[in-house]
Structure 1
Amino acid sequence: MQPRAVRLVQLSRVRYAELLALQERWLRRLQPEPGTEALSGTEAGALLLCEPAGPVYTAGLRGGLTPEEAARLRALGAEVRATGRGGLATFHGPGQLLCHPVLDLRRLGLRLRTHVAALEACAVRLCELRGLSGARARPPPYTGVRCGRHITSHGLALNCSTDLTWFEHIVPCGLVGTGVTSLSEELQRHVTVDEVIPLFLEAFKETYKCSLISEDSPN
């Protein structure tokens, strides 16, 4: 059987708001209203990749930031945004690879938990390809997922050369007593987002058993 295709949309450095807007457009495309464009029968969605252009703290559906905390974070020079994902507050910024697959799980033959495990496996596989054999995914319930009508936009953020001091101002994802690291920190050299993208794509195709169709410009 021919593998399902996933559109690859690489955005380079963009504001976090642009990523969210593109994500919403792909969600609508996977859940089309009458008379709007739908995906072809062989496509399962899109993989959106970018590096945040500036520092931003995000809070999921469970909140995690009071108005006073949000004001304190903005005073540091960061954006603060509410998002539709699960989970608590976290940080995104330059030096970080953001991966947002917007997928119809039915077309890929995946259950939600299997999808989450597969996305985590991509990050672990990437670490292995960079020589970090000790990387492991956390077990449930340490994940926050957004899914509706079998369409998921659950993503991940991989710290490549991120300034980790930004995480010191929050409890990342509500995980008390858990540290944050990066590929640069673990490998003791500067690792760029551009360096790891090919490895992540290799891991994604391997894990999801899909093909990737490059797209020059966002739809």
Structure 2
Amino acid sequence: MSSVRPVVFAQWLGRLPYGEALSVQQSRVNQLVAAKKSPSPSTPKVNHLLILEHPPVYTVGLRSHVYSESEETRLRALGADFYRTNRGGLITFHGPGQLVAYPILNLADFRPGDRSVGVRRFVELIELTMIKTVAEFGVVGTTSPHTGVWVGDDEASQRKIAAIGLKVRMGVTSHGLALNCNTDLAWFDPIVPCGIEGKSVTSLSAELGRDVPIRDVIEPFCRAFADVFHCDVQRPFSFQTC
């Protein structure tokens, strides 16, 4: 087993429209896939962690077939963009006050606990990363049969604080996670988030009764990611300017 920890380069992109973020993701994915295909073993395979927030946008995944053009028009009329994507999952909302992270990783580079990382374990590791992140603020996060991270003492009172929607192609990941920091939760009211009926959403600010901006969450998130994935997260940016 190699003792060298993989390196992940974190990049803060600020508030970026969803379509532009998709282009950045695809560029990073294409570079990583090309490096994996290269006959030269010296071709660098660079892993990225893109961290950002979006202007208001509703996105639907591959399993969403219920959102017609009229539904799209209804949601756009609220002042949000609308995108049909190639990620897993159903509908969700992204917007200001929500930490969004897109890990662009070559899964073969990662062996936390000396175990390989397939798609299912990758989801579990992302969930654990967010559980560790919210724990730094005194919030107890849990998993459930539904993907994502939840808070609440029992199933009846569970509230979703973080969502996951992923894609893996040739062992390279894209799309990612969204953690509600001080998000305006009213944006979730017009939809059934992730297609789960009867469940509400929450945020760090709502749980703690105080404002928790994204800039306060980025560093704990990067630490948790490095701990869970047994990697070194290099972040050449100032959190104070986020």
Same fold by TM-score, threshold 0.5 exceeded? yes
Instruction: Please give the alpha-carbon distance, in whole angstroms, between the structure 1 residues aligned to 2:143 and 2:131.
Output: 7
Q: Which residue number in structure 2 is paired with residue 145 of structure 1?
A: 166
Inter-CA distance 100–203: structure 2 relative to 1 (3 Å threshold): same
Per-residue CA deviation, residues 111-162 of structure 1 (Å, 9 max, x unaligned), is 2111111111111001111111x21123356664311111111411000011
2:183 paired with 1:162: yes
Per-residue CA deviation, residues 159-215 of structure 1 (Å, 9 max, x unaligned), is 001110010000001011110000000000011000100000010000001012235
2:115 paired with 1:113: no
Q: Which moved more, 1:102-111 or 1:84-93?
A: 102-111
Instruction: Please give the alpha-carbon distance, in whole angstroms, between the structure 1 residues aligned to 2:133 and 2:109.
Output: 25
What does 1:185-200 align with in structure 2 at a 5 Å threshold? 185-200=206-221
Q: Which moved more, 1:187-196 or 1:104-113?
A: 104-113
What does 1:1-219 align with in structure 2 at a 5 Å threshold? 1-32=3-34, 40=44, 43=46, 45-52=47-54, 54-63=55-64, 64-109=66-111, 110-132=117-139, 134-139=140-145, 144-214=165-235
Instruction: Please give the alpha-carbon distance, in whole angstroms, between the structure 2 residues aligned to 1:131 and 1:149.
Output: 38
**What code does the residue aligned with 1:65 have?**
Y
Instruction: Please give the alpha-carbon distance, in whole angstroms, between the structure 1 residues aligned to 2:174 and 2:29.
Output: 8
Unaligned runs of 5+ in 1: none
Q: TM-score, normalised by structure 1?
A: 0.90
Per-residue CA deviation, residues 54-109 of structure 1 (Å, 9 max, x unaligned), is 21000111224211111000111110011110111110000000011011111113
Q: Which residue number in structure 1 is paired with residue 160 of structure 2?
A: none
* SS of 2:200 mapped into structure 1: coil
Inter-CA distance 39–215: structure 2 relative to 1 (3 Å threshold): farther
Inter-CA distance 183–140: structure 2 relative to 1 (3 Å threshold): closer
C-alpha deviation, 1:39, in angstroms: 5.8
Aligned residue-pair number: 210
Instruction: Please give the alpha-carbon distance, in whole angstroms, between the structure 1 residues aligned to 2:18 and 2:219.
Output: 22
Cα RMSD (Å) of the superposition? 1.9
The question of whether the paired residues in 2 share the 8 Å contact of 1:58 and 1:80 is answered with yes
